[in-house]
């Protein structure tokens, strides 16, 4: 099997290259993202391998089918960037449903601790020999109410971590899990009662902009909001309004609604024209990172393993256990 591997970064080669050789798979590493213009690079390949910011709409799928590409391999869990209706019956779509929920949950907890105790600001101050702690006050997590939105594998791991901090946990999910030992409430109740809100749900038509002006209005003043899931869960304009009105003690974001053009790239020498992104980074109570919650050695190894096992399953005509269908 030959795979056109789009949006390649050096760390992708580190994990995928040796493993692919062991499995008898040939990979061409391509640095650009997959879109209509770059789809020609996949001609004569059996599969393409894509990441979260490759946009696989109907036009791209039409091109891939024209070039006889049979499979789309997602090296991630989310598949909101693939037009599944256009792919149905024409091209396989496989994903990595779970690689390291621990990595993402641990990172979400790190963001919570950072913005609450303002560790990022303290770090900058002490680098300049400023040892004042004025303005760096947070709150104890013990006994506070945390709302977990989405209780899939990552949400479950987050709940386990939060229990260690002796927080009062409430949860919201369309499909409650009775074995988690937490109280499920309505989303409205969660927003109203939580001192901390952490998002762990997939991006769907129903969840897009679930955090908006109305939902922010329901939150407590001084709430902490954490999102390590998908950027479009939050209406960025509404979030900026909330920040301007001092609604939040802190906001920890590993994702951003319009991240496609910026995340995973070095833009330090460019003029950033995205006004919303510039405004977000100007708030000293916002910690914004570049979609790195998944980024551990363990997770990368698991991603490479499952992605290539998916490719082997296609090649050897085995059951496609990680196929995405509608």
Task: Tell me which residues are annotated as active site.
Answer: 230, 259, 291
Q: To the nearest 5 percent, what fractions of the chain are helix, strand and coil?
A: 40, 15, 45
Q: How far apart are CA 281 and CA 288, in angstroms?
A: 7
Q: In this structure, how many other beta carbons lie within 10 angstroms of the beta carbon of residue 105?
A: 25
Task: List residues bridging with 198 in a β-sheet.
Answer: 148, 226
Closest to 47 measured CA to CA, from 59, 57, 34, 37: 34
The H or E element spanning position 288 is strand 286-288
What DSSP letter does each residue of 213-246 carry, written as one string? HHHHHHSPTTEEEEE-S-GGGB-HHHHHHHHHTT
> CA 281, 116, 77, 183 torsion: positive or negative?
negative
Closest to 218 measured CA to CA, from 193, 255, 248, 251: 193
Q: Which long-range contacts (CB under 8 A, 24 or more apart) does 297-301 make?
A: 298/100, 298/102, 298/103, 299/99, 299/100, 299/103, 300/11, 300/14, 300/15, 301/15
**Phi, then psi, of 260 in degrees rounded to 5:** -50, -45
């Amino acid at each position: 099997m030959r795979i056109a591997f789009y949006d390649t970064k050096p760390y992708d080669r580190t994990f995928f290259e040796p493993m692919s050789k062991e499995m008898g798979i040939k990979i061409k590493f391509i640095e650009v993202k997959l879109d209509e213009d770059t789809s020609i690079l996949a001609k004569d390949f059996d599969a393409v391998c894509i990441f979260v910011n490759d946009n696989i709409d109907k036009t791209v799928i039409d091109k891939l089918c024209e070039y006889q590409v049979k499979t789309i391999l997602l090296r991630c869990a989310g598949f909101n960037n693939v037009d599944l209706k256009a792919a149905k019956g024409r091209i396989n779509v496989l994903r990595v449903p779970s690689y390291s929920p621990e990595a993402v949950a641990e990172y979400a907890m790190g963001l919570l601790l950072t913005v609450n105790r303002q560790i990022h600001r303290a770090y900058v101050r002490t680098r300049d020999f400023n040892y004042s702690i004025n303005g760096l006050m947070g709150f104890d997590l013990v006994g506070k109410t945390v709302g977990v939105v989405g209780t899939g594998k990552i949400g479950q791991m987050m709940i386990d971590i939060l229990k260690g901090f002796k927080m009062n946990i409430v949860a919201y999910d369309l499909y409650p899990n009775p074995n988690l030992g937490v109280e499920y409430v309505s989303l409205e109740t969660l927003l109203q009662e939580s001192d901390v809100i952490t998002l762990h749900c997939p991006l769907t038509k129903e969840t897009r902009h679930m955090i908006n002006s109305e939902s922010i209005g329901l939150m407590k003043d001084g709430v902490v909001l954490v999102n390590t899931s998908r950027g479009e869960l939050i209406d960025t304009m509404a979030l900026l309004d909330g920040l301007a009105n001092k609604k939040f003690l802190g906001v920890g974001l590993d994702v951003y609604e319009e991240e496609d053009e910026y995340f995973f790239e070095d833009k330090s020498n460019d003029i950033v024209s995205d006004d919303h992104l510039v405004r977000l980074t100007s708030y000293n109570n916002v910690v914004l990172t570049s979609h790195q919650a998944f980024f551990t050695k363990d997770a990368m190894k698991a991603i490479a393993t499952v992605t290539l096992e998916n490719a082997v399953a296609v090649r050897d005509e085995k059951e496609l256990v990680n196929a995405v269908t509608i």
